[in-house]
Amino acid sequence: MDLATLIGLFGALAVVLTSIILGGSAGTFVNTPSILVVLGGTALVTMMKFSLSKFFSAASIAVKAFLYKPMNAEELIAEAVDLAKSARQGGLLALEDREIKDEFMKNGLTLLIDGHPAETVRAMLQKDLAQTLRRHGDGQDIFKAIGDVGPAMGMIGTLIGLVQMLANMDDPKQIGPAMAVALLTTLYGAVLANVIALPIADKLAVRSREENTNKSLIIDALLSIQGGQNPRVIENMLEAYLPRSKRKEDDVEGA
């Protein structure tokens, strides 16, 4: 579980709600027409931009920002080196009963054990990676669209409220509710975009980069294992995926 996302989201919402409560009556900030314009309008306009299947899959994609915790590159390198040592001693069939945490690595290892050529393994794994990144891109696009549409719907609600207010200037009782719609829709749109939608889109982009790095590392590792390279050479090659501060400084010894 990604604590940074959870703490950031709920912390930001708590700050906004605390400010509202400390400033007076919280009920003043609840307005049904404003909620309808911003939430309903944003959902419908965003739906227009995408297919229904992509739109409704956005929720499951967003869960990835909260719950998905990928293995870090150091763990993947350690596991790859361990697999390389076992394969060097007993061949690829010695890896058949190994417990693999990462599903992508597990699937790739199955391809190696089944005896597929390196070109086929690379093509299949890279296709899997490309499809994963495409799904991530769809999720990012949906939440970016929500971030764009939300404030725009808030502005539309503001204009509706101003029109209602100006049309009822002779009735002071109508000015307050109309101004509430005018101001609250802008508030709702800003919160929806800047506290929820855009941060989720950015976190999904981070997750996409992490998965791209991890899966690229796994592809290089598996193909090196299949090629029978020395585990030490594999380790040093894969350390290129690590920040320089985490790489080992010792030189590569002879294979």
C-alpha distances (whole Å) from 173 to each of 13, 165, 177, 183 are: 32, 10, 8, 17
Residue 249, pLDDT score = 57
Question: Domain limits at 67?
Answer: 3-74+118-246
Q: Work out the pLDDT band at 189, boundaries 50, 70, 90.
A: very high
151-184: pLDDT as tens digits: 999 999 898 888 878 877 777 777 777 777 788 8
Is 252 part of a structural domain of the chain?
no
Is 92 part of a structural domain of the chain?
no
Is 81 part of a structural domain of the chain?
no
Is 33 part of a structural domain of the chain?
yes
Is 87 part of a structural domain of the chain?
no
Phi/psi for 103 (5° steps) reads -65, -40
Q: Considering its fold, how many domains does the chain have in total?
A: 1
CA 202/CA 131 separation, integer angstroms: 19
Report the predicted TM-score, pTM, of the whole model to 2 decimal places.
0.81
Do residues 74 and 247 lie in contact, with contact meaning Cβ atoms separated by under 8 Å? Answer: no
Do residues 144 and 198 lie in contact, with contact meaning Cβ atoms separated by under 8 Å? Answer: yes
Is 190 part of a structural domain of the chain?
yes
29-41: pLDDT as tens digits: 888 888 999 999 9
Residue 252, pLDDT score = 43
127-139: pLDDT as tens digits: 999 998 888 898 8
Is 137 part of a structural domain of the chain?
yes
List CB contacts of 81: < 8 A, sequence separation 6 or more: 231, 234, 235, 238
Is 106 part of a structural domain of the chain?
no
